[in-house]
Amino acid sequence: MRVAYVYDAIYPDIPGGVERRIWEISKRLAKRGHDVHIFGMHLWKGGSIIQREGVTIHGICRSYPLYKRGRRRIFPVIPCAVRTFFALLNEHFDIIDCQNAPYLSALAVAISSRISGSSLIITWHEVWGDYWYEYLGLYGSFGKGVERILARSSKHVIAGSETTRDDFRVLNPVHDMRIIPNGIDFAEITHTPPAGMKSDILFVGRLIWEKHVDVLIDAVSLLTLQHPGIRCIVIGDGPERLNLEMRARKKGVNENIVFTGFLKDSRDVISYMKSSRVFAFPSTREGFGISALEALACGLPIVTIDHPKNASRVFARGGCGVLSAPDPVDFARKIVEVMTHNRMEGDICRLKAREYDWEVIVDKIESYYAEVQRA
């Protein structure tokens, strides 16, 4: 099959769950003999078309900062959407797998695919709905309207989680979605050794408002009253990093919390996971939560927020973690519960994570693409 993936950010030049998903699936499909292409921003030096591990990568628009003041930038998406339209207009693919965001680019792909005759699948990672008003105020009605239009732009749809599927049905109740989640390289995780630096608590993710690392910092501040030597490592970067570092100093826990920044080698992240006691994930908006899944694969129990928009809650079920209210007091209490009572079984966590190995996920993707192609 000739397959194209469309998303503005491309891994590893820009890290993230969606970027990682596209790359891990792409290189495995290419290894299976498929002709795989990725279309996005031109993030690298040199020509606009390059090859990586058998995958053809197209830089169709100039790179631009994705965030401003902690929010996704809107206006640079417009020229990127136009270039996406023309890049795919004269190309025929058996399958175009376009991510639901940025919405304008996805709509451009929906139009161009009808002209080119390519079969379009839209992969939804999150549905915002009324959250648009919280994000953009009165302008949120525009975002919500575009989201609703996009939900009717393709008859072939993938959801990254049960949460996303349920939210999507509000936009299009008659649509039959296929749930194909993100995955992990279970073998690589298994063979990665622990890091030399040990920690009690670990967080991994983009430092943005929705991840609520501020709740974790406040929880660590409470924990130091009884456990003054407690150690927390925060892996990741983002627009909230400076504010979070200032908060840690203000709370007097800057010696307890280490901010490592982004770690380019994913194996380094796994090493830290294997040297920690609990994975803290206080996010209230999570389309999937791949770092939480990686923690399970390391046998690391999870403390996360019980919020309807947090899809990573599923990983805390079945003895693999606990759910917390979105406040520091309860979050600190749940961290102590996991560390003190040792209820969580590492083998159970690893067994659960094994179901998400990338080879299993790619089997499902390949099967669905063939089904769409035959339709």
DSSP assignment of 24-55 equals HHHHHHHHTT-EEEEEEEE-SSS-SEEEETTE
pLDDT of 16 higher than 90: no
Q: What are phi and psi of 224, to 5 degrees?
A: -65, -15
- Tell me the CATH number at 339: 3.40.50.2000
HSE (CB half, 13 Å, CA atoms) of 27? 13
**Same domain, yes or no, for 170 and 258?**
no
**Same domain, yes or no, for 318 and 361?**
no
- 57-72 in b/e burial notation, b at 16+ Cβ within 10 A? bbbbbebeebeeeeee
Q: What are phi and psi of 74, to 5 degrees?
A: -100, -50
Q: Predicted confidence band at 174 (pLDDT cuts at 50, 70, 90)?
A: confident
**Same domain, yes or no, for 25 and 105?**
yes
Report the pLDDT value the prediction gives residue 343, as an integer from 0 to 100: 52
pLDDT of 74 higher than 90: no
Q: Can you tell me the mean pLDDT for 238-251? A: 96
Taking a C-beta distance cutoff of 8 angstroms, is the pair 271, 308 a contact? Answer: no
**Same domain, yes or no, for 203 and 343?**
yes
Amino acid at 116: S
- Summarised one tens digit per residue, pLDDT across range 110-159 is 999 999 999 999 999 999 999 889 888 888 899 999 999 999 999 999 99
**Same domain, yes or no, for 230 and 361?**
no
Cis peptide leading into residue 12 (ω within 30°) = yes
Domain that includes residue 321, residue range = 186-354
E strand or H helix that includes residue 95: strand 95-99
Report the pLDDT value the prediction gives residue 169, as an integer from 0 to 100: 93
**Same domain, yes or no, for 362 and 347?**
no
**Same domain, yes or no, for 9 and 113?**
yes
Give 358's DSSP letter. H
**Same domain, yes or no, for 20 and 147?**
yes
pLDDT of 86 higher than 60: yes
Nearest to 300 by CA among 216, 230, 212, 202: 202
**Same domain, yes or no, for 127 and 235?**
no
Q: Predicted confidence band at 64 (pLDDT cuts at 50, 70, 90)?
A: confident
What does the alpha-carbon distance between residue 366 and residue 97 come to, in Å, rounded to a whole number? 12
Number of domains in the chain: 2
Give 305's DSSP letter. E
Give 181's DSSP letter. -
- Summarised one tens digit per residue, pLDDT across range 336-346 is 999 887 555 78
pLDDT of 67 higher than 80: no
pLDDT of 37 higher than 90: yes
pLDDT of 204 higher than 70: yes
Amino acid at 217: I
**Same domain, yes or no, for 325 and 308?**
yes
What does the alpha-carbon distance between residue 91 and residue 2 come to, in Å, rounded to a whole number? 10
- Summarised one tens digit per residue, pLDDT across range 271-292 is 999 999 999 999 999 989 999 9
Report the pLDDT value the prediction gives residue 342, as an integer from 0 to 100: 58
pLDDT of 219 higher than 60: yes
Residues forming a β-bridge with 305: 324
**Same domain, yes or no, for 24 and 110?**
yes
Instruction: Give the count of beta carbons closer than 10 Å to the beta carbon of residue 318.
Output: 13
Amino acid at 55: V
Q: Can you tell me the mean pLDDT for 88-116? A: 95
Give 287's DSSP letter. S
DSSP of 143-185: HHHHHHHHTTS-SEEEESSHHHHHHHHHH-TT---EE----B-
- Summarised one tens digit per residue, pLDDT across range 304-358 is 999 999 999 999 988 899 999 999 999 999 999 998 875 557 888 999 999 999 9
What is the greatest pairwise CA distance in the chain? 65
How much of the chain exceeds pLDDT 90, in percent? 82
**Same domain, yes or no, for 245 and 329?**
yes
What does the alpha-carbon distance between residue 165 and residue 162 come to, in Å, rounded to a whole number? 5
Instruction: Give the count of beta carbons closer than 10 Å to the beta carbon of residue 149.
Output: 14
pLDDT of 176 higher than 80: no
Report the pLDDT value the prediction gives residue 175, as an integer from 0 to 100: 77
